Amino acid sequence: MYVPAHFDESSKEVLHARIAGHPFGTLITHGQGGLDANHIPFELSADEGELGVLHAHVARNNPVWREVANGDEVLVIFQAGDAYISPTWYPSKHELHKQVPTWNYMVVHAHGRITIRDDERYVRGVVGRLTRTHEASLPKPWKMGDAPKEYIDTLLQSIVGLEVEITRLTGKSKLSQNKEVRDIRGAGEALVARGSCPIGEAMLAEAQKKQP
């Protein structure tokens, strides 16, 4: 990924937070069948290993777990928000007319080594933790014990676990940092007004940091 210095996000804590906040990732593999991409939710264990470990599962019928070998290099991409930026939102455009449209976004690339975990205990743990995490905010959270044990046992047999030990984290926060503070703020305010809050709020925070 091309990352100009002013868009670089290298803080492990920030990148981990973005993964945890946007856990639906794209797993890129290069196995026996060539390049492949699978879109799956991940659980991040931030304290495992040097950079963290990702845990997930796929359907047993999905060929991805058969086409890669333990230790193969993979890439998981996490999108943490994106938004179109109109030049009309930059105050300087109305004075100098030297602005063009762009697209701002925040993304994390997690490079790592994959391990296939085809065992019931691992898969049950991943499903249980993912369920608790994403049901927690609901008024009446669903839990695995709400369904018949035999039903859950059968479903668990139909999925396979994936573990990715992160070996390199790359982050990019393209938030118009190469613009004047007033332009960053102007575009951020326009996005927030339109409801595109994640990128807009991040731009406003960036403007605040750059404010003398």
- 106-127 confidence digits (pLDDT tens): 999 999 999 999 999 999 999 9
Angle at 143 between CA 141 and CA 147, to 5 degrees: 125
- The pLDDT score that the predictor gives to residue 93 is 65
pLDDT (mean) for 171-176: 97
Overall fold of domain 5-87+102-178 = Pnp Oxidase; Chain A (2.30.110)
pLDDT over 70 (residue 196): no
Rg of the chain in Å (alpha carbons) = 21
The b-or-e profile of 125-149 (16+ CB within 10 A means b, else e) is ebbeebeeeeeeeeeeeeeeeeeee
pLDDT, tens digit (0-9, with 9 covering 90-100), for 92-109: 867 777 789 999 999 999
How is the chain split into domains, by residue range?
5-87+102-178
- d(CA 23, CA 79) in angstroms, rounded, equals 9
End-to-end CA distance of the chain: 31
95: three-class secondary structure by DSSP: helix
pLDDT > 70 fraction of the chain, expressed in percent and rounded: 98
- The pLDDT score that the predictor gives to residue 114 is 98
